[in-house]
Structure 1
Amino acid sequence: MKIWFLTPTFPPVRGGSETQAFTLAAGLVREGHSVSVLTERYPGSSAVEELAGVRVHRSRTDPERWRSPDRVPWEERVFGLLRDAQDLITPDRTDVLQTFCQVGAVLGAMMTSSLRCPLVVTMNETTPHTDPFGSARTRLVYGHLPYDAVVTGSAEYQRQAIEYGADPARVHLARYGIDGDLYGPGDGSEVDEARQWLRVAPGDQVVLLVGRFKERKGQRELVRAMTRVTRRHPRARAVLVGSLNSASVAYQRQVEQDIADADLSERVLLRTSALPFGSLRAIYTAATVVVQPSHSEGLGLSAIEAIAAGRPLIATAVPGLSEVLESCPGTVSVPPKDPDALADAICAVLDNPEKAERGARRARAAVRREFDARDMVGGYLKVYERLRATEDVT
Structure 2
Amino acid sequence: MLSWEFPPVVVGGLGRHVHQLSTALVAAGHQVTVVTRHRPGVPLEEYVDGVRVVRAPEDPPLFPLSTPSMLAWTMAFNHALTRAALRAAENGGYDVIHAHDWLVTHAAVTLKEHLDLPLVATVHATEAGRHQGWLPGETNRCIHSVEYWLGQEASRVLVCSGYMRWEVSRLLELPSATVEVVPNGVNSALWRAEPRAVAAARARYVGEGPVIGYAGRLVYEKGVQDLIAAIPKLRAAHPGLRVVIAGDGPYRRELAEEVRDRRLQRAVSFTGFLDEPDLAAVLAAMDAVVVPSIYEPFGMVALEAAAAGAPLAVASTGGLAEIVSPGVTGVVFPPKDPDGLADAVGGLLADPSFAARVAQDARVMVAERYGWAAIARRTVEAYGSALRHAPALDVKQVASMLAGSQRPPIEVPGGNLLSL
Which residue of structure 1 lines up, in the alignment, with residue 397 of structure 2?
none
**Contact in 2 for aligned 1:15/1:211 (Cα 8 Å):** yes
Deviation at 1:194, TM superposition (A): 3.6
Root mean square deviation, CA, Å: 2.7
Hey, what does 2:107 align to over in structure 1? 107
- Rounded to whole Å, the distance in 2 between the matches of 1:227 and 1:209 is 16
Structure 2 match to 1:253: 253
* Other-structure match for 1:371: 370
Query: Which of 143, 149, 166 is the equivalent residue of 1:140?
Result: 149
Q: Is residue 206 from structure 1 mapped to residue 211 from structure 2 by the alignment?
A: yes
Deviations 1:346-371 (A, max 9, x none): 22222221221112112222232222
Q: What TM-score does the superposition give when structure 1 sets the normalisation length?
A: 0.86
How far, CA to CA, are the matches of 1:154 and 1:178 in structure 2? 15
Q: Is the 8 A contact 1:297 1:320 kept in 2?
A: yes
CA contact (8 A) 2:164 2:318 kept: no
Change (3 A) 1:50 1:276: farther
Task: Tell me how far apart the structure 2 counterparts of residues 311 and 74 of structure 1 sit (CA, whole Å).
Answer: 37
- Which of 218, 222, 246 does residue 217 from structure 1 map onto? 222
Structure 1 partner of 2:16: 19
For 1:148-227, what aligned pairs fall within 5 Å after superposition?
A: 148-163=155-170, 164-184=172-192, 186-195=193-202, 199-201=204-206, 205-227=210-232
C-alpha deviation, 1:153, in angstroms: 1.5
Superposed CA offset, 1:101-155 (max 9, x none): 013233211111221322111011244364620444433332x32x221122211
Do residues 124 (structure 1) and 124 (structure 2) align?
yes
Q: Name structure 1 gaps, 5 residues minimum.
A: 67-71
Matches within 5 A, 1:1-394: 5-12=1-8, 13-61=10-58, 64=61, 76=76, 79-90=79-90, 92-128=92-128, 130=131, 132-133=140-141, 134-142=143-151, 144-145=152-153, 147-163=154-170, 164-184=172-192, 186-195=193-202, 199-201=204-206, 205-244=210-249, 248=250, 251-273=251-273, 275-326=274-325, 329-388=328-387
Q: What number of residue pairs does the alignment pair up?
A: 372
Aligned-pair distance for 1:270?
0.8
| Deviation (angstroms), 1:376 | 1.1
Please name the residue that 2:407 is paired with: none
Partners of 1:10 and 1:22 within 8 A in 2: yes
Q: CA deviation at 1:339?
A: 0.9
User: Contact (CA 8 Å) 1:121, 1:149: kept in 2 or not?
Assistant: yes
- CA–CA distance in 2 between the matches of 1:309 and 1:195? 14
Matched to 1:176, the amino acid is N
Against the structure 1 CA distance between its residues 201 and 155, is the aligned structure 2 distance closer, same or farther, given a 3 Å change threshold?
Answer: same
In the TM superposition, what is the alpha-carbon distance from 1:93 to its structure 2 partner? 4.0
Q: For 1:8, give the aligned amino acid.
A: W
Q: Tell me the percent identity.
A: 28
Residues 182, 268 of structure 1: alpha-carbon distance in 2 compared, 3 angstrom cutoff: same
When residues 284 and 51 of structure 1 are mapped into structure 2, their CA distance, relative to the original with a 3 A threshold, is: farther
Describe the shift of the 1:139–1:384 C-alpha distance in structure 2 as closer, same or farther (beyond 3 A). closer
Q: Once the 2 structures are TM-superposed, how far is the Cα of residue 232 of structure 1 from its aligned partner?
A: 2.7
Whole-angstrom distance in 1 between the partners of 2:74 and 2:259: 40
Corresponding residue of 2:411: none
Q: Which amino acid aligns with 2:156?
A: A
Deviates more, 1:320-329 or 1:153-162: 320-329
Q: 1:91 to 1:190 in 2, by over 3 A?
A: same
Instruction: Give the deviation of 1:388 after TM superposition.
Output: 4.3
SS for the counterpart of 1:6 is coil
Q: Which is further off, 45-54 or 19-28?
A: 45-54
Whether the 8 Å contact between 1:328 and 1:363 is mirrored in structure 2 is: no
- CA deviations 1:3-45 (Å, max 9, x no partner) are xx10111123152222221111110011111222111223443
Shift of 1:89: 2.9
Amino acid at match of 1:19: R
Check 1:77–1:231 CA distance in 2 against 1; reply closer, same or farther (3 A cut).
Answer: same
Range 381-390 or range 281-290, more displaced? 381-390
Structure 1, 6-15 or 76-85: larger mean CA deviation: 76-85
Q: Is 1:91–1:116's contact at 8 Å kept on the other side of the alignment?
A: no
Query: TM-score, normalization: structure 2?
Result: 0.81
